[in-house]
């Protein structure tokens, strides 16, 4: 079924596909215990962002990037829906998690951390910019997940890191990025997002500066 699902997803135009065992994340998933109990796997889907659109991002987000960001999220949500229907027809539970649905804006958290699932599914590593970094796409992609009880073989995390690359640190207008992902300044980042909105660059709390800067350089750990 793994191969069948992967072919189905890549056939829809998706760029990344991986499967994670999410048993260890159960306590972090903001769903009722009854709903998430049988869902032990997550299929993580990734859609590449336009390099040309990202190049339009300078030291702040643009309206072009904002529209592209929303379009990519919508594509992922539709793809996750189609995949969930496909899996249900095979006789399994399938719960699509939105690509971008913030539950707590101050903490910048959603129903499920797509980047954590993506790392566990072998799609990349957690970069200094606190985003998932893919070897080929950098951070220039968006993610969505489908939780399921389908007994799929889980992928393994990628043993890589950002190496000597510090492009995101140098580009961050908020000074929120440090040497270690664990030291990422969430509140500095959020304060900058508020400032971008206040200046009416975009209507939503997004940035894109470190996404543009990240090209996926890294090394094996």
> pLDDT tens-digit profile of 152-198?
999 999 889 999 999 999 999 999 999 999 999 989 998 999 999 99
Q: For residue 105, what pLDDT is reported?
A: 65
CA distance between the termini of the chain: 31
Q: For residue 70, what pLDDT is reported?
A: 96
Q: For residue 217, what pLDDT is reported?
A: 65
> Quick one: tokens of 194?
């508020």
Q: Which residue has the higher pLDDT, 102 or 84?
A: 84
- With a pLDDT cut of 70, the percent of the chain lying above it is 96
**How far is residue 136's CA from residue 148's CA, in Å, rounded to a whole number?**
27
> Quick one: tokens of 133?
């970094």
pLDDT tier for residue 220 given thresholds of 50, 70 and 90: low
pLDDT of 106 > 70? The answer is no
Specify the number of domains making up the chain: 1
> pLDDT tens-digit profile of 12-64?
999 999 999 999 998 888 888 989 999 999 999 999 999 999 999 999 999 99
CA–CA distances in Å: residue 140 to residues 78, 83, 91, 137, 166:
19, 23, 34, 6, 16
Q: What is the DSSP letter of 136?
A: T
Q: Is 50 helix (H, G, I), strand (E, B) or coil?
A: coil
Full residue range of the structural domain in which residue 135 is found: 2-220
pLDDT of 103 > 80? The answer is no
**How far is residue 124's CA from residue 134's CA, in Å, rounded to a whole number?**
4
Which residues, 6+ apart, have CB-to-CB distance to 147 below 8 Å? 22, 29, 36, 39, 41, 42, 93, 94, 95, 97, 112
Q: For residue 213, what pLDDT is reported?
A: 95
| Cβ atoms < 10 Å from Cβ of 203 | 10
pLDDT tier for residue 108 given thresholds of 50, 70 and 90: low
Asked if 168 and 152 touch (Cβ cutoff 8 Å), the reply is no
Residue bearing tokens 């470190």: 210
pLDDT tier for residue 139 given thresholds of 50, 70 and 90: very high
pTM: 0.91
pLDDT tier for residue 114 given thresholds of 50, 70 and 90: very high
């Amino acid at each position: 079924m793994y191969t069948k699902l992967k072919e189905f997803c890549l056939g829809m135009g998706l760029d990344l596909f991986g499967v994670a065992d999410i048993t260890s994340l159960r306590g972090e998933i903001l769903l009722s215990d009854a709903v998430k109990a049988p869902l032990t796997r997550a299929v993580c889907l990734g859609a590449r962002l336009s390099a040309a659109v990202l190049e339009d991002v300078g030291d702040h987000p643009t309206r072009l990037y904002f529209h592209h960001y929303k379009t990519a999220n919508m594509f992922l949500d539709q793809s996750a829906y189609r995949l969930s229907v496909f899996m249900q027809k095979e006789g399994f539970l399938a719960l699509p998690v939105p690509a971008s649905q913030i539950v707590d804006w101050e903490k910048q958290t959603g129903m499920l951390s797509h980047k954590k699932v993506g790392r566990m599914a072998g799609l990349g590593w957690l970069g200094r910019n606190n985003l998932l970094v893919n070897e080929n796409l950098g951070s220039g992609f968006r993610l969505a997940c489908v939780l399921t009880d389908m007994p799929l073989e889980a992928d393994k995390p990628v043993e890589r890191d950002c190496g000597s690359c510090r492009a995101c640190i140098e580009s961050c207008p908020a000074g929120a990025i440090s040497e270690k992902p664990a030291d990422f300044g969430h509140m500095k980042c959020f304060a900058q997002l508020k400032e971008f909105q206040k200046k009416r660059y975009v209507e939503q709390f997004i940035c894109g500066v470190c996404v543009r800067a990240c090209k996926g350089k890294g090394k094996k750990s």
